[in-house]
Amino acid sequence: MEKLNYDTIQKYQSFTTIEEMDKSVRGFLYKHKAELSEGTLAVLHLIWKHSVKVVGVSFAKYDYIAEQVGLSKRTVIRAVKMLEERGIIKKVPTARMNGKQGVNLLIIQAFGSIDSIKTTMSPQDVAAPVTPNKTENKQSSLCEKKIKERTNVREACEPTLQELDSSYLPESIPEEFKKTAQPFFNAVDIYNLWNRVMIVYNKFEHGKTIEDFMECIISAFKQTVFSKKRGKIHTTFEGYFYRILHETFTLKLRQENKSNLFWELHDWVTGTGSSSH
């Protein structure tokens, strides 16, 4: 397993230019798009998007990909495996400097361009076989039309991922946070914002539950919304929210530590160490 550093990443550069990489991915999609789920396509597009600094090489973590495309980490891993099997992605495991397992490099592989695929594909690849029985063809066409119509009606009635409201969110996200965020964001955005909360929560050693920080979390969210409305946020809402959360958690824990220290000194001076505060 190779050490993760810039030299290692650069060694796996698979294309000379971004244009070459784009042609390969577009050629792959031209040939295989119909075989892939929406989730797998979303994972491929994100890897593609994050493969420009070293052309063809992405070192985005599975957790990050999952957060960005709104899928579970397990689904992302399955999608990467499927893309590997179809030859557009190569996965290379790496190790951190301390020897522990690092991120997987996801390397886009060379694939034929759309033009080259068109010239090499046989007629069977691009056209359905013609049967001599016209009645069967007509009945088949009518059945396919009805199925397609039913599918289109169902899809038209179903909300898209971006249209889901907070009632679809996991129960692990507190109702107070859902209600506060719902007027401003859809379910996917609220889910991503709560992931930011949990990242900050897990950064500190405090022995507290997430409910102990709800006042801080709601306050940080409202501060971020207010700053957004005033045009003070020049990065992303999520990034700004993360920074305010970190500052708010830090301040709360620092104040509590000072208070605990005061009472410890008080108990030591007065000799009432058994009393509680």
Phi, psi of 90 (to 5 degrees): -120, 130
Cα–Cα distance, 125 to 202 (Å, whole number): 52
Can you say whether residue 59 is alpha, beta or left, with left for phi > 0 and alpha for psi between -120 and 50 degrees?
alpha
Least confident range of 125-129, 145-149, 202-206, 269-273? 125-129
Separation in Å, CA 177 to CA 23, 54, 213 = 44, 39, 11
Given pLDDT bands bounded at 50, 70 and 90, which one contains residue 197?
very high
Given pLDDT bands bounded at 50, 70 and 90, which one contains residue 203?
confident
Report pLDDT digits (tens) over 155-190: 444 556 666 777 888 888 999 999 999 888 888 889
Dihedral sign of CA atoms 220, 65, 105, 75 in order: positive
The reported pLDDT for the residue numbered 81 is 94
Cα–Cα distance, 209 to 200 (Å, whole number): 13
Note the pTM of the prediction, 2 decimals: 0.44
Angle 215-191-220 from CA coordinates, rounded to 5°: 30
CB-based burial, 1-23: b 16+ in 10 Å, e otherwise: eeebeeebbeebebbeeeeebbb
Q: Which two tokens stand for residue 232?
A: 């003070």
Q: Are 103 and 9 in contact (CB under 8 A)?
A: no
Residues 33-53 have a mean pLDDT of 92
